[in-house]
Amino acid sequence: MEDSSSATLDKYWMEYALSLAVAAGRAGEVPVGALITKNDRLIAEGANQSITTVDPTAHAEIIALRAAAKALGNYRLPGCTLYVTIEPCSMCVGALVHARIERLVYGAPEPRTGAVCSAIELLGASFYNHRVAVTSGVMQQACSTVIQSFFRNKRLKS
C-alpha cells in the first residue's frame, strides 16, 4: 500500500505530465506527456512528437527515456520512475525494461494498445529479466479527459 506522501508526489508529477500532454495536443500531437524522476527530482521530460518529427518512435516515453539517458550519461536508468499520462504501448514497455526503469506510474488505461494491463500484459512476461513496479490510475479521469477531448475535437473538425 502506498503512503500518502508517495501518493501526493505521484499526483504532483502526474500534473506536470498532464501539462506536457496538453502542450503536445496544442501542437497537433496526440496529447501524451511523460517525465522521469530520480530521487524525487526531475531528470527528463517528453511529449508525443511522432507527427511533427515524422518519427513513429517519438512517443512521449521514448523522448523522456532518451533525454534521461543523456542527462545521466547511461542508457540504464536504475532508480528512476517514469510518469506518463496514458498506459504505455508495447514499444514503450520494451524500452522501459531495457532502460531498467524501476517504477512506472501512469494515469489512464489504453484499451486498444496498452501493454501493461489492457490489451496485453507485457511487464509480467517471464522472458523479461527485469521487473518494473507499476502504479496505475493516478489522476485517471483528468488523463482520460485530455486524450478523449483531443480525439472528439479532431472528429468534429473532419
* Class of residue 67 by CB neighbours under 10 A (exposed 0-12, middle 13-18, buried 19+): middle
Give the containing element (helix H, strand E) for 85. strand 80-86
- Angle, vertex CA 10, rays to CA 27 and CA 113, nearest 5: 55
Active site annotation includes 110:
no
- The catalytic residue among 29, 45, 61, 110 is 61
Grid cell locating 125: 512476461
Grid cell locating 111: 484499451
Q: Which residues form the catalytic set?
A: 61
